[in-house]
Amino acid sequence: MNYSAELKKFVTSQYVYSAIRITLATVLPCLVLAHFGILKEYFLFPLGTSFVALCDQPGPFIRRRNALTFAIFCFVFVALIASLVMNFKILVLLEIIAFGMFFSLIGVYGQRLAAVGSLSLVVLAIFIDGHLTGGNILKSLLIFASGCIWFLLIFLVVTTIQPYKLAGQMIGENYLQLAEFLKIKANYYQKNPDFDRLTIQVIAKQVGIKNLQEETRETVFKTRTIVNESTTTSRLLMLMFLNSMDLHEKLMTSESDYQKLQQSFEDSMILVNIHDYLNLLAEEITNIGISLQIGTRAKPLFDLELELKNLNSHYFELRNKQMNPDNLENFMVLRQILMRINEITKEINEIYKVFSQNVKLAKSLSTGLDLKKFMPNEEKLNIKVLKNNISLSSSQFRHAIRITTALLVGYIFSMFDLLGLGHTYWILITITAILKPAYSITKKRNLLRLYGTIAGAVIAYTILHFIHINAILFTILLLSMIMCFSFLKGRYFWAVLFMTIYVFLSFNFLNPGNVDVIFKDRILDTLIAGVIASTVSYLVLPVWEHTQNLDLMQKSAADNLIYFESVISKFLEGDFDIEDYKMKRKNAIISLANLSDNFQRMISEPKNQQKKLEVVHQFVATSHLITAYTASLSQYSKNDEKYPEIDAESWSRKIGAEMQQTSVLLHGDEINEALKMESRLEPEDSSIEDMLLKRKNEIGESDLVDRRDPDKISYLTELKNIHDILELIYDVAKEQKKVIEKYRSEEHPIPPQS
């Protein structure tokens, strides 16, 4: 592992940048207040700042600004109502029901408002017993509101000074994810790879890439300064993002029959050489990503031209020594892989050229695309959307009922004070943090929260026991806050660990010598909240992932068929609509990732809810292969070469019929005879076999000609590869149909004959 690169990736990421901003925005007022000796009295100011800061989700400036403004209104309103009714237990229970339902339901409008809703419930937990407001409610609320507005002002200033910073960091993260994806793909070429493990890793990484691409697409396409400004920076960032999408597709095209490849070349070092070269390319992509995050120009780390020349030399030497009529087709496959690697290398070199920020080049840059078509769909702030989700058929409504139930149970438990806990509001905060719409996520966060809290509490207790110098404790507090906010999105255990440390240190500064009580309360409250959240998520209107499988499989199958038809149209009609193609590629990749993500969550559910797990896994794997093989075929659709030897019409009908049969079965219908007949078509590609036989005879009768042009590939090799890809797509589509037949038979088993 390149530890230097890993450290740079982390330090330059949007998460660390955001964490430092949140920490400084929260701590600087604390220092001023502490200087005047009024920090305890005005503690609600930094608290409000940190709450609003956590609502700042990545995205376009206008959406972020509006979400922060809405968050301030929600927080102050919730704090006001909670402070007014805190002495009336019946009203408090009604308040929990009203706020619990509303602030959970607004999650239907997207992740940004879901964050506002969750933190509004945390504000409710903080103010529910009046321990922070004291006797003067109005003064306390003004202080809290001022802290909230303080972060909004900082946000406005920072985004005005650095309007492109977030977009650059997010695009950079896309490249970093692609580098990790390529490293996984490279491992298929190492000695004795674990194919099953690598396939799982590839599918999981696809999910991460898709989610990040969607977030970045919204930030880039919906940010006016990025899309419409004719500045060098805005055009370059747009092009860099679009290039990352194209690079992703090129990385997907490297899909091959790796097991056959390993068997064919197990006695040579060529596959290991490919593995090493792909890792070099991954380091170059990482370098581009880090430079984008920093905001500097990227320079190549290696002489890729020389490294690629050496790789091609290894291939040609092996070809000249070992190629014969029997293994000709194996060398054709290997040659095609090297050509794909050449294409990826050219793409990376082109990205470096764009990154050089040549002003004349930048001014001429144009995507040629209608970018509005590529913007992600997001629910409009329409009251009808909220009304339509007030139904037990809505997963968000069920989640709202679960979280409201859990908060009520937690509050009632705290009223009895059975264990003499002094910070019972932590139970409600922890329930809000743990309980998520998906059971699998709730289960995972529950365990991570418990482990992180215990580990953090032990570390904090040790620090406070041995260190009594305020300057050192304050430094640890700052670092803990930064690390907590940095890890909050991706590594929840570490986020909770550092959160627990800075909470302990904060309480120690406010009320020194009370660490034993905090230690006991924090761990017990986390345990209690964890039990409540787990019980409620399992018993109260759970939404199991297997109930989503059918819809997601239908969508993935339909989008894969549309994607394939878009690619094969070039072979049929001779023209290629690049914008239409990219739209259909995007839809296929998103549908595949959604299906894969759902399957990953299903694995974490109780065994009795993992319905048809193996069958769904097979469908996910075959869907991934169809998408990847179609991406491989698309590389031939983009050039000007004609391939009349390929019976494209028959292949289109044959594969299309097979994929349509899968969709028919998924919708519970019966396959008609016409589709069955279409799928049995035999494409007339016999001329390719004749050409191949002729080439084998030539090799057998004469010595090989030592041709060493790495940028050229024989027409026969291209034809053979197109034919092989079409066969692979058909075989996988046929396998997928069998999977769905099994899926249906398990759902509606045929009764035994009497």
- For 162, other C-beta atoms within 10 Å of its C-beta total 12
pLDDT for residue 397: 92
CB 264 within 8 A of CB 330: yes
**Number of domains comprising the chain:** 4
pLDDT digits (tens, 9 = 90+) for 211-244: 888 888 878 877 656 666 666 777 788 888 888 8
CB 561 within 8 A of CB 659: yes
User: pLDDT grade, residue 514 (50/70/90)?
Assistant: confident
Q: Answer whether residue 390 is part of any domain.
A: no
pLDDT above 70 coverage of the chain, percent: 90
Query: Residue 366 and residue 546: Cα distance in Å, rounded?
Result: 44
User: pLDDT grade, residue 330 (50/70/90)?
Assistant: confident
Q: What is the 3-state secondary structure (H, E, C) of 544-595?
A: CCHHHHHHHHHHHHHHHHHHHHHHHHHHHHCCCCHHHHHHHHHHHHHHHHHH
Residue predicted with more confidence, 86 or 418: 86
pLDDT for residue 598: 87
Question: Do residue 174 and residue 156 come from a single domain?
Answer: no
Average pLDDT over residues 644-669: 90
Print the domain residue range for 463: 397-535
Give the chain's radius of gyration (CA, Å).
Answer: 29
Query: Residue 325 and residue 331: Cα distance in Å, rounded?
Result: 10
Query: Could you tell me which residues come within 8 angstroms of residue 659 by beta carbon, excluding any fewer than 6 positions away?
Result: 557, 560, 561, 564, 626, 733, 736
pLDDT for residue 754: 36
pLDDT above 90 coverage of the chain, percent: 36
Copy the structure tokens of residue 273: 């050489």
Q: Is 378 helix (H, G, I), strand (E, B) or coil?
A: coil
Question: Do residue 106 and residue 173 come from a single domain?
Answer: no
Q: Answer whether residue 125 is part of any domain.
A: yes
Of 493, 509, 535, which residue constitutes the final position of a domain?
Answer: 535
Question: Do residue 186 and residue 310 come from a single domain?
Answer: yes
Q: What is the 3-state secondary structure (H, E, C) of 327-371?
A: CHHHHHHHHHHHHHHHHHHHHHHHHHHHHCCCHHHHHHCCCCCCH
Question: Do residue 553 and residue 643 come from a single domain?
Answer: yes
Question: Do residue 294 and residue 369 come from a single domain?
Answer: yes
Q: Answer whether residue 750 is part of any domain.
A: no
Mean per-residue pLDDT over the chain, rounded: 85
Question: Do residue 127 and residue 269 come from a single domain?
Answer: no
Question: Do residue 352 and residue 242 come from a single domain?
Answer: yes
Query: Residue with structure tokens 């006001």?
Result: 80
User: pLDDT grade, residue 268 (50/70/90)?
Assistant: confident
Average pLDDT over residues 648-667: 91
Angle of CA points 215, 218, 222, to nearest 5°: 160
Question: Do residue 415 and residue 470 come from a single domain?
Answer: yes
Query: Could you tell me which residues come within 8 angstroms of residue 227 by beta carbon, excluding any fewer than 6 positions away?
Result: 220, 221, 234, 238, 371
pLDDT digits (tens, 9 = 90+) for 168-191: 899 999 999 999 999 999 999 998
Copy the structure tokens of residue 748: 């509606």
Query: Could you tell me which residues come within 8 angstroms of residue 147 by beta carbon, excluding any fewer than 6 positions away?
Result: 29, 44, 45, 46, 47, 48, 49, 52
H or E element, residue 432:
helix 425-434
User: pLDDT grade, residue 120 (50/70/90)?
Assistant: very high
Residue predicted with more confidence, 446 or 688: 446
User: pLDDT grade, residue 93 (50/70/90)?
Assistant: very high
Average pLDDT over residues 682-706: 76
**What Å distances lie between residue 510 and 133, 426, 576, CA to CA?**
15, 17, 67
Q: Answer whether residue 388 is part of any domain.
A: no
Question: Do residue 468 and residue 605 come from a single domain?
Answer: no
pLDDT at 285 over 90: yes
pLDDT digits (tens, 9 = 90+) for 52-81: 999 998 888 888 999 999 999 999 999 999
Q: What is the 3-state secondary structure (H, E, C) of 588-618?
A: HHHHHHHHHHHHHHHHCCCHHHCCCHHHHHH
Phi/psi at 606 (5° precision) = -55, 150
Looking at mean pLDDT, say which of 215-224, 254-263, 620-629, 715-724 comes out highest.
Answer: 620-629
Copy the structure tokens of residue 321: 């020594």
Q: Answer whether residue 289 is part of any domain.
A: yes
Q: Answer whether residue 68 is part of any domain.
A: yes
Of 116, 144, 161, which residue constitutes the final position of a domain?
Answer: 161
Of 535, 564, 591, which residue constitutes the final position of a domain?
Answer: 535
Q: Answer whether residue 379 is part of any domain.
A: no
Distance of CA 319 to the CA centre of its chain: 41
pLDDT at 366 over 60: no
Question: Do residue 107 and residue 209 come from a single domain?
Answer: no
Looking at mean pLDDT, say which of 374-378, 423-427, 594-598 comes out highest.
Answer: 594-598
Closest-CA residue to 714 (of 648, 632, 641, 647)? 641
Q: What is the 3-state secondary structure (H, E, C) of 141-183?
A: HHHHHHHHHHHHHHHHHHHHHCCCHHHHHHHHHHHHHHHHHHH
Question: Do residue 218 and residue 330 come from a single domain?
Answer: yes
Angle of CA points 651, 652, 653, to nearest 5°: 90
pLDDT for residue 374: 54
Average pLDDT over residues 432-454: 90
Query: Residue 525 and residue 488: Cα distance in Å, rounded?
Result: 20
Average pLDDT over residues 202-212: 84
DSSP E strand boundaries for 423-573 = none
pLDDT for residue 495: 93
Query: Residue with structure tokens 């031939």?
Result: 636
DSSP state for residue 670 in the 8-state scheme = P
pLDDT for residue 653: 92
CB 40 within 8 A of CB 16: no
pLDDT for residue 751: 46
pLDDT digits (tens, 9 = 90+) for 583-627: 888 889 889 888 988 888 888 888 888 888 888 888 998 998 899
Residue 306 buriedness (CB in 10 A; 0-12 / 13-18 / 19+): exposed
Question: Do residue 54 and residue 137 come from a single domain?
Answer: yes
Query: Residue with structure tokens 């968050």?
Result: 71
CB 454 within 8 A of CB 447: no
**What Å distances lie between residue 239 and 69, 215, 242, 244, 708, CA to CA?**
32, 17, 5, 9, 34
Query: Residue 63 and residue 50: Cα distance in Å, rounded?
Result: 19
pLDDT for residue 142: 95
User: pLDDT grade, residue 640 (50/70/90)?
Assistant: low
CATH assignment at residue 597: 1.20.58
pLDDT for residue 752: 44
DSSP state for residue 704 in the 8-state scheme = P
Query: Residue 528 and residue 546: Cα distance in Å, rounded?
Result: 29
pLDDT for residue 376: 55
Closest-CA residue to 272 (of 300, 329, 314)? 314
Longest dimension (CA), the chain: 101
Q: Answer whether residue 637 is part of any domain.
A: yes
